[in-house]
Amino acid sequence: MLIVQLILINIAFIVSFTLLLPNLPWLFGISTILLIFLAVMRYQYHHRQTHQILQTLLHGLRNLQDGDFSISLADNSTNKNQSQSEVLALFNQVTDKLRQEKQSLYQRELLLDKVVNASDVVTVLVNHRDTIIFANRAAEYFFNQKSMLGMSWATLLDENLPELIQHQDKDNAIIQLLLADTSYGNSDADVKDSPKTEQSWHLSRHQLKLHGTRHQLTLLKPITQAMHQQELQTWKKVIRVINHELNNSIAPISSMCHSGNILAERLDEPQLIRVFATISKRINKLAEFIQSYSQLARLSKPQKQPFDLIKTLKQLQELYQFTLNCQQTSLMISGDESQIEQLLINLLKNAQQACADQATDVSVESQQGHLAIIVRDFGPGMPVEVLTKAFLPYYSTKTDGSGIGLSICREISDGHQGKITLNNHPEGGLQVEIHLPLT
């Protein structure tokens, strides 16, 4: 546009030169001065407009440099040529796209942060200087730290979890760690005083580069509960197969034994009668044995309904001798009453067998959104090697035990999203703790 205007001014100068010289030199001088003044004015106007555009773009670019993508440059098309308007429009389009990308990236980062912090997988990111630069809430809870940023990873392991140091050479493995129970919001003092149990964890490490430097991502996933469930499902399948095969064999044997017993009575053979009676007795014992083991396989999903736990415990006091310690006269919880009652019966029966001379102690407490039921007997307790295997199906140290009672208890507890633990009381006897959520 400026070039066209200058060309027109030059044409006007040539025309005035042709028409006014040499007859009217004074008029030619005036016209020349006016044309020069007009050319200078148009140049200064164009220069100011260009400078204003550059200043506007510079201001916008500085805002982008500072991370402010909300800026939008005004486009007054009446005072600007087409190329300048296109530049401003393109700048506004770029800032709009950058603003949308930044907002989308922020939303993704926020979602990722929520997912990582809500996960129960312990997540720790360590840089090349062995300094922790990221740790989710599960990691802070696992290591009992308010904030882990800036801490040395090696020092943290040495002070809080030396058992993990021996697994430093593993990148993908299932490990066993001896840890205190941190379930249901126990305080720091409770965690330190509580007995340690062996827990299964899946450890994975990943090497990655961030900003050109080496980093290590460590993930610890708790799999104890999943392994218990898988183990229990395997036992249930085995029990179903064994029950099916044994029942198929017991039924005809029992029928033949009954027929043989009738035949022996007709022949008046006392010795045969005793033989068939003994066989029938052993078959009945075997059937009872199979029936007891079938309880674990038949345990169904709990049908939760509100019921009064204190009322249920008081009804059990008519069958078993125990002292109930609870500050509340009524405690409504949501659960399968028959399964919870079966769990308590199994524990009370075991406690009575451990010490029949002294009443069992049962304590019920509700706090921090969960219910704690503690059943303590005053017997000899359990050896440490027995405690680690107590929940295994078919494992029992009793001469007449089936090894199913505690397995059923853990299945019922897991079905109610709870937790059951065994430990020897410091003052003697075995203590069983059941933690169930109140909601």
Return the pLDDT at 370: 85
Same domain for 410 and 360, yes or no, is yes
Q: State the Cα–Cα distance between residues 380 and 93, nearest whole angstrom.
A: 80
Domain containing 386: what range?
305-437
Same domain for 316 and 243, yes or no, is no
Res. 126: pLDDT tops 80: yes
**Would 114 be classed as within a structural domain?**
no
The enclosing domain of 378 has a CATH number of 3.30.565.10
Same domain for 289 and 328, yes or no, is no
Return the pLDDT at 401: 59
**Would 239 be classed as within a structural domain?**
yes
**Would 60 be classed as within a structural domain?**
yes
Return the pLDDT at 388: 73
If one counts every other C-beta atom within 10 angstroms of the C-beta of residue 87, the result is 17
**Would 106 be classed as within a structural domain?**
no
State mean pLDDT over 60-86: 74
Res. 390: pLDDT tops 90: no
Res. 81: pLDDT tops 90: no
Same domain for 274 and 347, yes or no, is no
**Would 112 be classed as within a structural domain?**
no
**Would 294 be classed as within a structural domain?**
yes
Same domain for 313 and 382, yes or no, is yes
3-state secondary structure (DSSP) of residue 359: coil
Domain end, chosen from 166, 191, 222, is at 222
The enclosing domain of 135 has a CATH number of 3.30.450.20
Domain end, chosen from 222, 245, 277, is at 222
| Main-chain dihedrals φ then ψ at residue 184, nearest 5 degrees | 60, 35
Structure token digits, residue 358: 């002294």
Range among 28-37, 188-197, 312-321 rated most confident: 312-321
Structural domains of the chain, count: 4
Same domain for 317 and 402, yes or no, is yes
Same domain for 267 and 375, yes or no, is no
Residue 289 · residue 394 · CB < 8 Å: no
Domain end, chosen from 280, 298, 316, is at 298
pLDDT digit string, tens, across residues 238-267: 777 777 777 777 878 888 888 888 888 888
pLDDT digit string, tens, across residues 333-357: 899 898 899 899 989 998 888 888 8
Return the pLDDT at 122: 93
Q: How confident is the model at residue 134 (pLDDT cuts 50, 70, 90)?
A: very high
pLDDT digit string, tens, across residues 355-379: 888 889 999 988 777 889 999 999 8
**Would 110 be classed as within a structural domain?**
no
Rounded to two decimals, the pTM is 0.53
Same domain for 320 and 429, yes or no, is yes
Q: Mean pLDDT across the chain, nearest whole number?
A: 81
Same domain for 432 and 313, yes or no, is yes
Nearest to 141 by CA among 173, 174, 119, 163: 119
Res. 123: pLDDT tops 90: yes
Return the pLDDT at 397: 66
414 vs 195, residue with greater confidence: 414
State mean pLDDT over 312-336: 89
Return the pLDDT at 52: 79
3-state secondary structure (DSSP) of residue 295: helix
Q: What percent of the chain has pLDDT over 70?
A: 84
Q: How confident is the model at residue 385 (pLDDT cuts 50, 70, 90)?
A: confident
Using a 10 angstrom Cβ sphere, with 0-12 exposed, 13-18 middle and 19 or more buried, the burial of residue 273 is: middle
Return the pLDDT at 394: 61
Same domain for 380 and 433, yes or no, is yes
Q: How far is residue 50 from each of residues 62, 165, 177, 230, 343, measured CA to CA in Å?
A: 18, 67, 71, 75, 86
**Would 275 be classed as within a structural domain?**
yes
Same domain for 193 and 232, yes or no, is no
Return the pLDDT at 136: 92
Ramachandran area for residue 394 (φ above 0: left; ψ -120 to 50: alpha; else beta): left
Return the pLDDT at 183: 53
Same domain for 200 and 233, yes or no, is no
pLDDT digit string, tens, across residues 6-25: 677 667 767 766 766 667 67
Q: What DSSP state is assigned to residue 131?
A: B
